[in-house]
Every structure is written in C-alpha cells, then in structure tokens.
C-alpha cells in the first residue's frame, strides 16, 4: 500500500487533491472553537485546507508519506521553506505549516507535544479496513483529552479502494471508544454515487 501512494504521487494520479478549500471545513471548523491550537493533519497530501487552517491562526502539523507531495505543497505556496529534522522525520516548514515526511504510524506522542486538534479529510478512507482500526487508536493516543477534530469520511458503492467506503456504522465503531462523535451532515451524492459524511469528534478522558 505504501509504495502505491508513492507511485501515485510520482505519476500524478492524485484525483483526491482538491483545488479549493473543502466547504465542510469552512462551514464547521469555526464551531469547534479550537482557537489557536496546533492542528494535526494526518495523511495530509498537499491539501490547501492546511493553508486555510493556518490562515485562521493555527499552527499546522501535516504528516505525509510522499516527499513529492510536500515538495509540491511548498513549491505552490509562498515564501521559502525551512528544512530540518526530528528523529527519522525530515520536516519542511513554510509559514505556519510544518510538514513531516514519513509514516503516520511512526509519529509518536513525544512528537505531538503541542497538538490540540486534528483534521482528517481523506485520511481514514485512504486506509484498508484493518489499518483503519489502528489509525483510530493511534490518533486517539496523539490527541489530548477534551480536544476536537473534524472528520470527513466517504461512502461509495462497489467499494474497491482506495478511497474506501467507510459508513456511519464503521465511523462510530472505530472512534466511539475514545471520542464523542457528532454527525454533522451527509453531503450530496455525486454522479459516481460517492457521498461524504462529516463528523465532529471530541477526545474523551485520558485512557486510549
């Protein structure tokens, strides 16, 4: 799976990338009241949503496997990027966005000191079913109790992924052990029969 993503970035097969900020982010983020917290964006690609979050006054920490995605994000942004390293992760920093290049599952709590919220659009649904369980648990370990996040999942017919179809029942099953969930909306179904679902999550008490 891992190499498949690197191949996709190499070949420019990135139909998941949006040229505009996700409307659900703009609609629902202000209600989460995460003022100024550092936002974790797992499996971030080169999403413009990170620039929007930074524009709202948040430091952003994205994690992305493909160096090509990070190089493109920086090249398409403004200003120089600083390069440095934390452990095994090379990091690019441009303005208020820092992008860590590596496997999300190797990003540990010690790296996550200042994280206060998260944003997942097309991260959970990029992972096959057994890995989604691991993802939900790992995310819970990185997010302090009381902090919030926005999750945009996807339901689709004939679900040979990625992106995988992750319906309401699975979202609830994956996250309920460690988060309080509020279902915010189901988007319009597009002409492929794909429909996004949007959730607000709040990390429950201390035990992951």
Ligand X SMILES: C[S@@+](CC[C@H](N)C(=O)[O-])C[C@H]1O[C@@H](n2cnc3c(N)ncnc32)[C@H](O)[C@@H]1O
Annotated binding site for S-adenosyl-L-methionine, which residues? Answer: 9, 43, 64, 121
Contacts of 66 (CB under 8 A, 6+ apart): 5, 6, 8, 9, 45, 101
Q: By CB under 6 A, tell whether 116 contacts ligand X.
A: no
Find the shortest distance in angstroms from Cβ 26 to ligand X.
Answer: 14
Q: By CB under 6 A, tell whether 149 contacts ligand X.
A: no
Beta carbons within 10 angstroms of residue 16's beta carbon: 15
CA geometry: angle 187, 193, 198, nearest 5 deg? 25
Q: By CB under 6 A, tell whether 17 contacts ligand X.
A: yes
Using CA atoms of 86, 162, 32, 94 in order, give the dihedral in degrees to the nearest 10: 40
The answer to whether 159 touches 184, Cβ cutoff 8 Å, is no
Q: By CB under 6 A, tell whether 60 contacts ligand X.
A: no
Find the shortest distance in angstroms from Cβ 175 to ligand X.
Answer: 17
Q: Which two tokens stand for residue 143?
A: 């997010």
Q: By CB under 6 A, tell whether 119 contacts ligand X.
A: no
The residue from 39, 44, 81, 200 that contacts ligand X (CB under 6 A) is 44
Q: By CB under 6 A, tell whether 37 contacts ligand X.
A: no
The residues binding ligand X (CB under 6 A) are: 5, 16-17, 43-45, 47, 63-66, 69, 103-105, 121-123, 126, 163
């Amino acid at each position: 799976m891992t190499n498949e993503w690197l191949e996709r970035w190499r070949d420019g097969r990135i139909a998941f990338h949006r040229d505009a900020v996700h409307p659900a982010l703009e609609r629902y983020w202000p209600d989460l009241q995460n003022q100024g917290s550092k936002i974790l964006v797992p499996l971030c690609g080169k999403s413009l949503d990170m620039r929007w979050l930074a524009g709202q006054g948040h430091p952003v920490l994205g994690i992305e496997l493909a160096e090509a995605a990070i190089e493109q994000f920086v090249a398409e942004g403004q200003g120089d990027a600083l390069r440095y390293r934390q452990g095994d992760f090379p990091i690019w920093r441009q303005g208020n966005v820092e992008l860590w290049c590596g496997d999300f599952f190797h990003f540990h709590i010690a790296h996550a000191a200042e994280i206060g919220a998260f944003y997942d659009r097309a991260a959970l649904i990029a992972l096959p079913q057994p890995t989604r369980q691991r993802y939900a648990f790992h995310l819970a370990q990185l997010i302090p109790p009381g902090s919030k996040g926005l999750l945009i999942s996807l339901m689709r017919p004939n679900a040979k992924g990625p992106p995988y179809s992750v319906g309401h029942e699975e979202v609830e099953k994956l996250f309920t052990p460690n988060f309080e969930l509020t279902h915010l909306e189901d988007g319009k179904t597009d002409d492929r029969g794909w429909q996004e679902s949007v959730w607000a999550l709040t990390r429950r008490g201390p035990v992951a």
